[in-house]
């Protein structure tokens, strides 16, 4: 078998969703890991762990493989960047959906929050959202909060937006004519996503941008639930046509401020929406 034939056999196609124990799972869904008996030492170490589905893949024989990133892995941000060593593959009978009867039932009483980083690391300051969520992933995260680096995976983020989060915080470079590195919070008008006014603020050099992802999610036939905020940063440069890695000095200096802003927002939202809280 030559190299081309081997690569063809190894090639996998992605699957948008699957059903396990009657529960629909997508990239971004959280699951419990239950490796079958007789596995290796890694299976033993991962038994009972909580993980996030990074992707669902189907091989050339039609078999489904669920790729996950373990929530408590200090290197989970590396796994979410699809790098080896922090991504683990399981069969569908080795994962358990986390529903109302799972061990995290207590967390379900808190508002469920998704923090989603958006950006292309090869377009200069467009990597702002990716850099911010990578820093967040290395810090203590409340159990009701999921931090995910979606990069340029627009479809995965669109599906995640339909999972019924109480709050979604999108993090991205977003030009508004301010000084480079300026941070701001915007709440998109979900009722007018197709209007010219909403289009005027988008970043044309993006492979995806927040408003286009919101439009994609609403076009899938489901109504977006919960509140959506955008933590934006004014970019200085998106790099030349051939691409550029690395943030400008101004945007680099704004990263810690963005992390603190998101953590403060999460704390405020969690406190306001606790059961019994007065509005």
Q: What is the pLDDT of residues 29-65, one digit of tens each?
A: 888 888 877 667 777 778 888 888 888 888 877 888 8
Q: Which two tokens stand for residue 121?
A: 């690391």
Q: Which two tokens stand for residue 217?
A: 């999610």
Report if pTM > 0.75: no
Q: Tell me which of 130 and 273 has the higher pLDDT.
A: 130
Is residue 23's pLDDT more than 50? yes
> In angstroms, how far is CA 36 from the centroid of its own chain?
28
Instruction: State the Cα–Cα distance between residues 205 and 33, nearest whole angstrom.
Output: 39
H/E stretch holding 264 reads: helix 255-272
pLDDT (tens digit per residue) in 63-94: 888 988 887 776 555 545 555 567 888 999 99
Q: What is the pLDDT of residue 264?
A: 92
Domains and their CATH numbers in the chain: 11-97 (2.30.30.490), 110-272 (3.40.50.1450)
Centre a 10 Å sphere on the Cβ of residue 110 and count the other Cβ atoms it contains.
Answer: 18
Q: In this structure, are residues 71 and 52 in contact, taking their beta carbons and an 8 Å threshold?
A: yes
Stretch 260-266: mean pLDDT, rounded? 92
Q: What is the pLDDT of residue 220?
A: 66
Q: What is the pLDDT of residue 77?
A: 53
Stretch 146-169: mean pLDDT, rounded? 81
């Amino acid at each position: 078998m030559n190299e081309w034939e081997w690569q063809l056999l190894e090639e996998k196609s992605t699957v948008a969703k699957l059903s396990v124990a009657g529960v629909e799972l997508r990239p971004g869904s959280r699951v419990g890991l239950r490796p079958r008996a007789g596995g290796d030492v890694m299976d033993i170490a991962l038994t009972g762990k909580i993980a996030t589905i990074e992707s669902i893949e189907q091989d050339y024989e039609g078999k489904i493989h669920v790729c996950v990133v373990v929530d408590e892995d200090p290197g989970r941000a590396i796994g979410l960047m699809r790098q080896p060593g922090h991504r683990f593959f399981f069969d569908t009978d080795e994962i358990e959906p986390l529903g109302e009867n799972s061990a995290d039932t207590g967390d379900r009483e808190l508002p469920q929050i998704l923090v989603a980083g958006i950006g292309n690391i090869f377009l200069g300051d467009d990597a702002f959202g990716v850099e911010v969520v990578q820093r967040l992933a290395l810090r203590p995260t409340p159990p009701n909060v999921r931090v995910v680096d979606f990069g340029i995976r627009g479809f995965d983020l669109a599906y995640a937006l339909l999972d019924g989060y109480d709050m979604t915080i999108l993090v991205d470079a977003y030009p508004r004519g301010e000084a480079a590195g300026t941070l701001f919070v915007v709440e998109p008008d979900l009722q007018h996503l197709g209007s010219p006014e909403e289009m005027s603020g988008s970043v044309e050099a993006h492979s995806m941008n927040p408003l286009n992802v919101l439009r994609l999610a609403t076009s899938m036939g489901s109504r977006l639930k919960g509140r959506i905020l955008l933590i934006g940063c004014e970019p200085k440069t998106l790099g030349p046509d051939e691409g550029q890695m690395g943030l400008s000095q101004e945007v680099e200096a704004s990263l810690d401020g963005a992390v603190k802003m998101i953590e403060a927002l999460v704390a405020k939202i969690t406190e306001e929406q606790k059961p019994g809280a007065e509005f």
